[in-house]
C-alpha cells in the first residue's frame, strides 16, 4: 500500500509551507531518513526526511508552491502501485476516499501539534519523533468536529483549561466554513467572506483556487506600484504583531539611563573579550546581562499568559530581536542570567549571524521569557516595542546620545540612553514594571552591581 | 385521585397483595402489634393474623434464610429488616443463597422473596442506622434492587417486586416515608427496569435515586431561575437498570450528573457513569460526567454534620452549573 | 421380607436390602469420584462421605416421599439416599448439561428441588434457616411434610445454627436437624472446637429433644431419626439427632490428614457401616452371601454406567453461561 507524503507541521504557528525543492524524482528509490524535499516555513528552511522506504511514485506539487500542512504532496510505495492522479487533499482524510481501511499512521499529523522545541532535524531513530500535545475536547466536540470537518486544534475552547465544547466547534464552523488553511489566509488577505465562497473540495471544502475565483479585480489603477505576496516570515510577523497588539493591552514606560559607567565597562572589557571569543562586546550584551540580572529579582516580569494561567518562568531566556531580510526573527539566549559577558557576546553574535542566514534551529527561537529590541544603531531615542507573545514584556533600547543634564547645580553633558519597557497590563501592573525599570537603570548606571 | 404517603403506599401494596395471594406473608422484627420500626405494617396483624404477619426473634440471619427456604418451597415471603444497615447480618443468605440458588441448580427452583428495608440518613440515627448500602446488593448477580422515591412508585414497584420470581431488595428511604403523591386505589404494577423521567429538560441530565430525586427536583427549580433546564431521571430500579432511558436523555442533553446519597466511592453512580461512557451517548458528552454522593465517612450524629455528609440541593445546583461552565 | 424380630420398630415396612444397595451406591460413587479427582479427570473440589453411608441412608429411609432435605458440602450420600440418579450426579461432576445443575453447580450444589432435595450447600451452616423456611411453608400451607436438615459438627459452631434452631423451636417448625458428627471440621477435631461431648446437648438450650445415635449403625439412625420425624410431623417441633460417625477420606481432595492418626482411622474402618448392616441382613435371613454380593455388583455396575453416561453427555455451550440467573 502506497504511503502518503505530506506537508509536515513543524511549529505551532505553521499552517502552510512552501516547497523549495524536491531531492528525488518520480521513480527514484527512497530510504527511511533520506532527505526527500525542502520546505520553507514561517520560521525556517528545512529538509524533510522520508518516513518510509520505497519508490517515489508521485509528486503533486512543484517547487515554490505553497501547501497547507498535512496536505498529501506525494506517495511512496512499490513500483507499479496506483495512486490518485491529483492530491487527495489532507492526509488521512484521503484514506477513506481511497477505500482504504488502514488506520491513520502515527505520522498523521491532523489534530496534532508538534512542540516547537521538538528536534525536527533528526528523524528516523526515535530522537526526532515529535512531542505531541493532546487537545482537550469533549467527546461531543470531537464528534461534531468530525462531522463538520473542523480541525479541533484551531477551535478556541471555552471550557476550563481551554477545553473545547460542542458549541465551540459549532460556533467555529459556522464562522468559518471548511476550508484549507491556505484558502482561509487568502480569503483573509483579500477580505473575502468564506461563507460566500463555493468550495470545490469534498463536502464543499474551500481551496485557495475557489477563493481566488472570487477575487474582484482591483478598481484603482496603481501604475508603477509593485505587488509582493506576503509569505513566509513576513506573514508570520504580520500575524503575530496583530495578535499581540490586539490581545495584549500594551503600556510603555520609559526612563533615561546615564551610560557613563557602562561605556567605561565596555571599553575595559572590549579587548579581553575579543581576545577570548574573537567577537567585540557591544552594548547589546551589557544591556542583556543587566536585564537578565534585574529580571532575577523581578520574577513577576518573567511571565507569560497561557489560557487562564500566568506562568512564572524559572529560567530567564532572553529573546533578541534581529532584523532579517523581509522580516524579524527573535533568537533566544537561554539562561542569560547564568552567563558571563564573554559567553553572551559569543552567543549573541552567533545567533545574529544564524538569523540573517536563515540558519536558526527551531529550538533556538523558542522558550523565550522576555525580549530585548535594540534600535540604538539608528537615530532613535525611544519607541513603543510590541510584546513578543506569549511573553509579557519587552525592552526597547534607544541610542546613546550626549545630553545636558543638571548635576549638583551644574549643567553637564552626559551620555544618555532611553529604555522603553512595554508590558502586558493583563498580567503585569504598572508599579512592578516601574520598579523593574528603575532597578535596571540603576544597574546600568552602576554596572559593578552586576557582580552582586 | 387520593393522596397517600409513601409509607401508606407500601402498606397498601402489601395488604392488597396478601388479600389476593395466600402465599404472601411478612416476617420481621416487631412487625406485629408494634407495627414495625417505622410503622409500615401497623394494623396489618389485625387483618391478617400472626401467622402471616410473623413477628420474628432478633435474628436477621435466620429470618433471611427462612425466607429463602420458604420461597424455595412455594411461598412468597416479604421480609422486613428494621434498618438496611442490618443487611450485613442477612448478607450471607441474600448473597450466597438467595441470589445463587437458581443458577447453582441449573435453572431449577426459584426464590420469589422481597427484602424490604428502610435506608438512608436524615433521622439522627447515626452511623449504624443510616447507611445506603444498595451498591453492595446491586453488585450481586441474581438479586434485583429497587429504590422507589415516591408513593406512587413505591406501591407499583412493590407489587412488581412481590410478583417477581426472584429475590428483590426493596429500599425505602426513611425521609421518603412521609412524602405524598397521588396513588390509585386499585393495585397496579410498575415493571422493574423502567426508569421514570421525573422532569423533562434540555441542558443537562441528572440521574438521581431515592431521596436525591426530591433534592434534584428542588435544584431544578433553582436552576430554572438561571435559565438552566435539567432533565431528572429516576432509575427506580438499579437492577435491572433502564440504560435505554438514561442513554437517550444524555444523548439529548450532552451532560450527566449522577446523584445518590450512598457514599460516592464505589457507589452505584460510578456504574451509571461508566455505563454512559461505554454507551453510544459517549460521543454526545459535552462535559465530564459529574458524580455526587455521600462523603466517605460514617454518618455522624450531629445534625449539621449529618447534613454535610450527603449531597444537598445546593451541591446539585453547583454541580450542574459546573458541568455547564456556568459557575 | 422385613418379618424381623430383632429389628427396631422404626424400620417396619422398609425395604432394607434396597437401603444396603444405596449404601453401596454411595460408597462406589465416592470412590469413583476420588479416583477421577486423583487422575485429574474432574476439576474443582469435592468432599467425600465414605464411611458416613449409614447416617445419610438411615435418616432419609424414614422419610415419606413428600418430605424434604437440605444437605451440606459433603452431600453426595444425601442425594443418592433421597433418590437421585447416579447418572445425573456423575454428569454434574463432569460438568455436563445432563447433570442435575446442567454443569453449573458441581459437587457442592447438587439439588433436585422437585424431589424434595433442596440442595447441597457450599456455605457451612447455610442449610439451617433454609430448612426452617421450607418447614415454615409446610406449616403455613399445611402440607404435612417434614424437613431433614443435615449438618456437621463444624456447622454447629456457626451463628446461623443458633438463630435457626431458636426460630424453629419457637414456631414449632416440622424440621429435624441431623448432625453427622464425623469428628472433624476440616482439620479441627470436634473435641477441641466445642466444650461439650455431644452436639445433641445443645438442644436443651432451645427446649427441644436432642438424641445421640450410632451413626455407623443404620438401624440405630433410623430408630432415632424416625422418632424425631414423627414428632415433627405431629406438630411438636424440631429435634436434634446426632449421628456419631467418621469420614474415611480427607476433608477434600488435597488433605494429608496430619491432624489424625492412622490408628484412629483403622479403628473406624473396623466399624464399617456397610459391613455391619450387611451382616445384620444376612443374620436376619434377609440376604444370603450370594445375594449380598450380587447387590454389591449391581451397585458397582450402576456407578460404572454413570461414568459412561457422564462421559458421553454434552458439555454446556457458552450460550448457557448467562442463562438461569433470574427466573
Distance between CA atoms of A15 and A183, rounded to whole angstroms? Answer: 11
Q: Quote the pLDDT of residue A223.
A: 61
Q: Which three cell numbers stand for residue A184?
A: 482561509
Q: What is the ipTM of this complex?
A: 0.91
Lowest mean pLDDT among B189-203, B221-235, C13-27: C13-27
Q: Is C in contact with A (3 or more beta carbon pairs below 8 Å)?
A: no
* CA nearest to B325 within chain A: A159
Share of chain B above pLDDT 90, in %: 99
pLDDT winner (highest mean) among A19-33, A247-261, A401-415, B16-30: B16-30
Residues A302, A390: one domain? yes
Residue A126 belongs to a domain with what CATH number? 2.40.50.100
Which of these ranges, A106-120, A398-412, A425-439, B69-83, has the smallest mean pLDDT? A106-120
* Chain C residues within an 8 Å CB radius of B69: 70, 118, 129-137
Nearest beta carbon to residue C130 from set B59, B68, B103: B68
How many angstroms separate the CA atoms of C46 and B263, rounded?
Answer: 40
Q: What is the pLDDT of residue A102?
A: 38
Which chain B residue has its CA at the smallest distance from A162's CA?
B325
pLDDT in tens, A327-362: 888 999 999 999 999 999 999 998 988 888 878 888
pLDDT at residue A113 greater than cutoff 60 = no
pLDDT of C172-181, one tens digit each? 999 999 999 9
Do the domain assignments include residue A227? Answer: no
In this complex, is the C-beta atom of A170 within 8 Å of any C-beta atom belonging to chain B?
no
- pLDDT attached to residue C129: 98
Question: Scanning every residue of chain A, which has its alpha carbon at the shortest distance from the alpha carbon of B252?
Answer: A140
Report the range of poorest mean pLDDT among A263-267, B122-126, C8-12.
Answer: C8-12
Parallel, antiparallel, or unpaired for β B256-263 and B290-294? parallel
Taking the C-alpha atoms of residue C13 and residue C10, their distance in angstroms, rounded to an integer, is: 9
Question: C326 and B93 in contact by Cβ < 8 A?
Answer: no
Chain C residues within an 8 Å CB radius of B107: 102, 323-324
B–C: how many Cβ contacts below 8 A? Answer: 152
B277: closest chain A residue by CA: A139
A52 pLDDT exceeds 90? Answer: no
- Mutation target to probe the C interface, by most C beta carbons within 10 A, among B66, B144, B166 is B66
Instruction: Decide if B286 and A142 are in contact by the 8 Å CB cutoff.
Output: no
- Between A278 and B122, name the one with better pLDDT: B122
CB proximity list for A107: less than 8 A, separation 6 or greater:
A6, A51
pLDDT of A222: 53
Contact A143 B283 (CB under 8 A): yes
Range 98-157 of A in CB contact (< 8 A) with B: 138-143
Minimum Cα–Cα distance from A161: chain B residue: B325
Query: In CATH, what is the architecture of B3-182?
Result: 3-Layer(aba) Sandwich (3.40)
Q: Which of A312-326, B11-25, B134-148, C291-305 has the lowest mean pLDDT?
A: A312-326
Residue C254 has what pLDDT? 73
User: Do residue B283 and residue A166 have CB atoms under 8 angstroms apart?
Assistant: no
DSSP state of C314: P
Residue B283 to residue A138, Cβ atoms within 8 A: no
**In a mutagenesis test of the A interface, which of B254, B273, B279, B286 is the best target, namely the one with the most A β-carbons within 10 Å?**
B286
Q: Chain B residues with CB-CB distance to A under 8 A?
A: 254, 282-288, 325
For this structure, is A425 an active site residue?
yes
Q: Is the pLDDT of residue A47 over 80?
A: no
* Catalytic residue selected from A107, A250, A313, A425: A425
Q: Is residue A294 part of a domain?
A: yes
A80 is in which domain, residue-wise? 3-133
CB < 8 Å to C105, chain B? 104-106
Q: Is there a shared CATH topology between the B3-182 domain and the B196-323 domain?
A: yes
Query: Where do the domains of chain B lie?
Result: 3-182, 196-323
Same domain for A190 and A330: no
Record: contact A139-B287, CB cut-off 8 A: no
Q: What is the pLDDT of residues A282-307, one digit of tens each?
A: 999 999 999 999 999 999 999 998 88
User: Mind listing the domains of chain C with CATH numbers?
Assistant: 11-313 (3.40.50.970)
Question: Does residue A84 share a domain with residue A175?
Answer: no
CATH among 3.40.640.10, 2.40.240.20, 3.40.50.920, 3.20.20.70 for B196-323: 3.40.50.920
Chain C residues within an 8 Å CB radius of B101 = 111, 119
C-alpha of B317 from chain center: 23
Average pLDDT value for residue range B180-209: 98
**Lookup: cell for C225:** 431419626
Q: Shortest Cα distance from A158 to chain B (angstroms)?
A: 8
pLDDT single digits (tens) C79-121: 999 999 999 999 999 999 999 999 999 999 999 999 999 999 9
- Kindly report, residue by residue over C264-302, the tens digit of the pLDDT: 999 999 999 999 999 999 998 999 999 999 999 999 999
Domain boundary among A133, A166, A198: A133
CA distance B49 to chain C (A): 12
- A85 shares a domain with A14: yes
Task: Check whether residue A80 and residue A196 sit in a common domain.
Answer: no
HEC sequence for chain A: CCEEEECCCCCCCCCEEEEEEECCCCCCEECCCCEEEEEECCCCEEEEECCCCEEEEEECCCCCCEEECCEEEEEEECCCCCCCCCCCCECCHHHHHCCCCCCCCCCCCCCCEECCCCCCCCCCCCCCCCCEECCCECHHHHHHHHHHCCCHHHCCCCCHHHCECHHHHHHHHHHCCCECHHHHHHHHHHCCCHHHCCCCCHHHCECHHHHHHHCCCCCCCCCCCCCCCCCHHHHHHHHHHHHHHHHCCEEEEEEEEECHHHHHHHHHHHHHHHHHHCCCCCHHHHHHHHHHHHHHHCHHHCEEEECCEEEECCCCCEEECEEECCEEECCEECCHHHCCHHHHHHHHHHHHHHHHCCCCCHHHHCCCCEEEEECCCCCCCCCCCCCCCCECEEEEEEEEEEEEEEECCEEEEEEEEEEEEEEECCCCCHHHHHHHHHHHHHHHHCHHHHHC
* Listed residue (B179, B81, B193) closest to B133, CA to CA: B81
Report chain B residues whose CB lies below 8 A from the CB of A165.
Answer: 286-287, 325
**Given this model, what pLDDT does residue A94 score?**
41
Query: Which positions in chain C touch B59 (Cβ < 8 Å)?
Result: 163-164, 166-167
Q: What percent of chain A has pLDDT over 70?
A: 86
Structural domain contains residue A21:
yes
Q: Do A165 and B287 touch (CB under 8 A)?
A: yes
Q: Could B69 and C122 be called an inter-chain contact, meaning their C-beta atoms sit closer than 8 Å?
A: no
CB contact under 8 A, A140 and B284: yes
Judge if A68 and A48 occupy the same domain.
yes
CB contact under 8 Å between C119 and B105, yes or no, is yes
Residue A176 pLDDT class (50, 70, 90 cuts): low
Which chain B residues are closer than 8 Å to A160 by Cβ? 325
Where is the domain boundary, A133, A150, A170? A133
Q: CB–CB of B104 and C101 under 8 A?
A: yes
Does any domain span residue A218? no
**Which of A101, A133, A165 marks a domain boundary?**
A133
pLDDT at A117: 35
Measure in Å the smallest separation between the Cα of B92 and chain A Cα atoms. 42
Q: Tell me the per-residue pLDDT of A227-253, one tens digit each, with 9 for 90 and over.
A: 777 777 788 888 889 989 988 999 999
Of residues C161, C118, C171, C148, the one with CA closest to residue C224 = C148
What is the distance in angstroms between the Cα of A164 and the nearest Cα belonging to chain B?
A: 9
> Which positions in chain B touch C109 (Cβ < 8 Å)?
104-105
Whether residue A371 contacts residue A395, with contact meaning beta carbons closer than 8 Å, is answered with yes
Report how many domains make up chain A.
3
- Say if A205 falls within a structural domain: yes
Per-residue pLDDT at A110: 35
Amino acid at each position: 500500500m502506497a504511503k502518503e507524503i505530506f506537508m509536515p507541521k513543524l511549529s505551532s504557528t505553521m499552517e502552510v509551507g512552501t516547497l523549495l525543492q524536491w531531492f528525488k524524482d518520480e521513480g527514484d528509490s527512497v530510504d527511511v531518513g533520506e532527505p526527500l524535499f525542502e520546505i520553507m516555513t514561517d520560521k525556517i528552511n528545512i529538509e524533510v526526511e522520508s518516513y518510509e522506504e520505497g519508490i517515489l511514485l508521485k509528486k503533486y506539487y512543484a517547487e515554490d508552491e505553497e501547501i497547507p500542512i498535512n496536505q498529501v504532496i506525494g506517495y511512496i510505495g512499490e513500483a507499479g502501485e496506483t495512486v490518485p492522479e491529483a492530491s487527495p487533499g489532507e492526509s488521512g482524510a484521503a484514506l477513506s476516499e481511497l477505500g482504504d481501511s488502514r488506520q491513520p499512521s502515527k505520522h498523521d499529523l491532523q489534530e496534532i501539534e508538534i512542540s516547537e522545541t521538538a528536534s525536527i532535524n533528526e528523524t528516523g531513530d526515535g530522537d526526532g519523533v515529535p512531542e505531541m500535545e493532546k487537545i482537550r475536547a469533549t467527546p461531543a466536540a470531537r464528534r461534531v468536529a468530525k462531522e463538520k470537518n473542523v480541525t479541533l486544534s484551531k477551535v478556541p475552547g471555552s471550557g476550563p483549561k481551554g477545553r473545547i465544547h460542542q458549541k465551540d466547534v459549532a460556533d467555529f464552523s459556522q464562522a468559518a466554513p471548511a476550508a484549507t488553511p491556505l484558502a482561509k489566509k487568502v480569503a483573509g488577505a483579500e477580505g473575502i467572506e468564506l461563507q460566500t465562497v463555493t468550495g470545490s473540495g469534498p463536502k464543499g471544502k474551500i481551496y485557495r483556487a475557489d477563493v481566488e475565483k472570487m477575487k474582484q479585480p482591483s478598481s484603482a489603477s496603481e501604475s508603477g506600484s509593485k505587488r509582493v505576496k506576503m509569505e513566509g516570515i513576513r506573514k508570520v510577523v504580520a500575524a503575530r504583531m496583530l495578535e499581540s497588539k490586539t490581545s495584549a493591552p500594551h503600556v510603555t514606560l520609559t526612563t533615561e539611563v546615564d551610560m557613563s559607567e557602562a561605556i567605561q565597562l565596555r571599553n575595559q572589557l572590549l579587548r579581553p573579550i575579543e581576545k577570548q571569543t574573537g567577537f567585540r562586546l557591544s552594548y547589546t550584551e551589557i544591556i542583556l546581562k543587566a536585564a537578565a540580572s534585574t529580571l532575577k529579582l523581578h520574577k513577576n516580569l518573567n511571565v507569560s499568559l497561557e489560557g487562564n494561567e500566568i506562568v512564572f518562568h524559572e529560567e530567564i531566556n532572553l529573546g533578541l530581536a534581529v532584523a532579517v531580510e523581509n522580516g524579524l526573527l527573535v533568537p533566544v539566549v537561554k539562561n542569560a542570567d547564568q552567563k558571563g559577558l564573554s559567553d553572551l557576546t559569543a552567543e549573541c553574535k552567533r545567533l545574529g549571524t544564524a538569523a540573517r542566514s536563515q540558519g536558526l534551529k527551531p529550538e533556538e527561537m523558542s522558550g523565550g521569557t522576555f525580549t530585548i529590541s535594540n534600535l540604538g544603531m539608528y537615530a532613535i531615542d525611544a519607541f513603543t516595542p510590541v510584546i513578543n507573545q506569549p511573553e509579557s514584556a519587552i525592552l526597547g533600547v534607544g541610542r546613546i546620545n550626549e545630553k545636558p543634564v543638571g548635576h549638583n547645580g551644574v549643567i553637564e553633558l552626559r551620555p544618555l540612553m532611553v529604555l522603553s519597557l512595554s508590558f502586558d497590563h493583563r498580567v503585569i501592573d504598572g508599579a512592578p514594571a516601574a520598579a523593574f525599570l528603575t532597578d535596571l537603570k540603576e544597574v546600568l548606571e552602576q554596572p559593578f552591581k552586576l557582580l552582586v | 385521585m387520593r393522596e397517600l404517603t409513601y409509607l401508606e403506599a407500601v402498606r397498601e401494596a402489601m395488604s392488597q397483595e396478601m388479600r389476593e395471594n395466600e402465599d404472601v406473608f411478612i416476617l420481621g422484627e416487631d412487625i406485629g402489634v408494634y407495627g414495625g420500626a417505622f410503622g409500615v405494617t401497623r394494623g396489618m396483624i389485625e387483618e391478617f393474623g400472626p401467622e402471616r404477619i410473623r413477628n420474628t426473634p432478633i435474628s436477621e440471619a435466620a429470618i433471611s434464610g427462612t425466607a429463602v427456604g420458604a420461597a424455595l418451597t412455594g411461598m412468597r415471603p416479604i421480609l422486613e429488616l428494621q434498618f438496611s444497615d442490618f443487611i450485613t447480618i442477612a448478607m450471607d443468605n441474600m448473597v450466597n443463597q438467595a441470589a445463587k440458588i437458581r443458577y447453582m441448580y441449573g435453572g431449577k427452583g426459584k426464590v420469589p422473596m422481597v427484602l424490604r428495608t428502610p435506608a438512608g440518613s436524615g433521622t439522627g440515627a447515626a452511623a449504624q442506622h443510616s447507611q445506603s448500602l444498595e451498591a453492595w446488593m446491586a453488585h450481586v448477580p441474581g438479586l434485583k434492587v429497587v429504590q422507589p422515591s415516591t408513593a406512587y412508585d413505591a406501591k407499583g414497584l412493590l407489587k412488581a417486586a412481590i410478583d417477581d420470581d426472584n429475590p428483590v431488595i426493596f429500599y425505602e428511604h426513611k425521609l421518603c416515608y412521609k412524602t405524598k403523591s397521588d396513588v390509585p386505589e386499585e393495585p397496579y404494577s410498575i415493571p422493574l427496569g423502567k426508569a421514570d423521567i421525573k422532569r423533562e429538560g434540555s441542558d443537562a441530565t441528572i440521574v438521581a435515586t431515592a431521596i436525591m430525586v426530591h433534592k434534584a427536583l428542588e435544584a431544578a427549580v433553582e436552576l430554572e431561575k438561571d435559565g438552566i433546564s435539567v432533565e431528572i431521571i429516576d432509575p427506580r430500579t438499579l437492577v435491572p437498570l433502564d440504560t435505554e432511558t438514561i442513554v437517550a436523555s444524555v444523548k439529548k442533553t450532552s451532560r450527566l450528573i449522577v446523584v445518590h446519597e450512598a457514599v460516592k466511592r464505589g457507589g452505584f453512580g460510578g456504574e451509571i457513569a461508566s455505563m454512559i461512557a461505554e454507551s453510544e451517548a459517549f460521543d454526545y458528552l459535552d462535559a465530564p460526567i459529574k458524580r455526587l454522593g455521600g462523603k466517605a465517612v460514617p454518618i455522624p450524629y450531629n445534625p449539621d454534620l449529618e447534613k454535610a455528609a450527603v449531597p444537598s440541593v445546593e451541591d446539585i445546583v453547583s454541580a450542574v452549573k459546573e458541568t455547564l461552565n456556568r459557575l | 421380607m422385613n418379618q424381623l424380630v430383632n429389628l427396631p420398630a422404626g424400620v417396619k415396612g422398609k425395604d432394607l436390602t434396597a437401603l444396603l444397595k444405596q449404601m453401596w451406591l454411595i460408597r462406589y460413587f465416592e470412590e469413583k469420584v476420588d479416583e477421577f479427582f486423583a487422575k485429574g479427570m474432574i476439576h474443582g473440589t469435592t468432599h467425600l462421605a465414605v464411611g458416613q453411608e449409614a447416617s445419610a441412608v438411615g435418616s432419609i429411609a424414614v422419610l415419606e416421599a413428600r418430605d424434604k432435605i437440605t444437605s451440606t458440602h459433603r452431600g453426595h450420600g444425601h442425594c443418592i439416599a433421597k433418590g437421585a440418579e447416579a447418572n445425573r450426579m456423575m454428569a454434574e461432576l463432569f460438568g455436563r448439561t445432563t447433570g442435575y445443575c446442567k454443569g453449573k453447580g458441581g459437587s457442592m450444589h447438587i439439588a433436585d428441588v422437585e424431589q424434595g432435595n433442596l440442595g447441597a450447600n457450599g456455605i457451612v451452616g447455610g442449610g439451617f434457616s433454609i430448612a426452617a423456611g421450607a418447614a415454615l411453608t409446610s406449616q403455613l400451607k399445611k402440607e404435612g411434610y417434614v424437613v431433614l436438615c443435615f449438618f456437621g459438627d463444624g456447622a454447629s459452631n456457626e451463628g446461623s445454627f443458633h438463630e435457626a434452631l431458636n426460630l424453629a423451636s419457637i414456631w414449632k417448625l416440622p424440621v429435624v436437624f441431623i448432625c453427622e458428627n464425623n469428628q472433624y471440621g476440616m482439620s479441627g477435631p470436634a473435641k477441641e472446637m466445642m466444650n461439650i461431648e455431644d452436639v445433641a446437648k445443645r438442644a436443651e438450650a432451645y427446649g427441644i429433644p436432642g438424641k445421640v445415635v450410632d451413626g455407623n449403625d443404620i438401624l440405630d439412625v433410623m430408630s432415632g431419626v424416625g422418632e424425631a420425624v414423627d414428632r415433627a410431623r405431629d406438630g411438636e417441633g424440631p429435634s436434634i439427632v446426632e449421628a456419631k460417625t467418621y469420614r474415611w477420606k480427607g476433608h477434600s481432595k488435597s488433605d494429608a490428614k496430619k491432624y489424625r492418626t492412622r490408628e484412629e482411622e483403622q479403628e473406624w474402618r473396623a466399624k464399617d457401616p456397610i459391613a455391619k448392616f450387611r451382616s445384620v441382613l444376612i443374620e436376619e435371613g434377609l440376604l444370603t452371601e450370594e445375594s449380598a454380593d450380587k447387590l454389591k455388583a449391581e451397585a458397582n455396575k450402576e456407578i460404572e454406567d454413570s461414568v459412561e453416561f457422564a462421559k458421553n453427555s454434552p458439555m454446556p455451550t457458552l450460550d448457557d453461561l448467562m442463562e438461569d440467573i433470574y427466573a
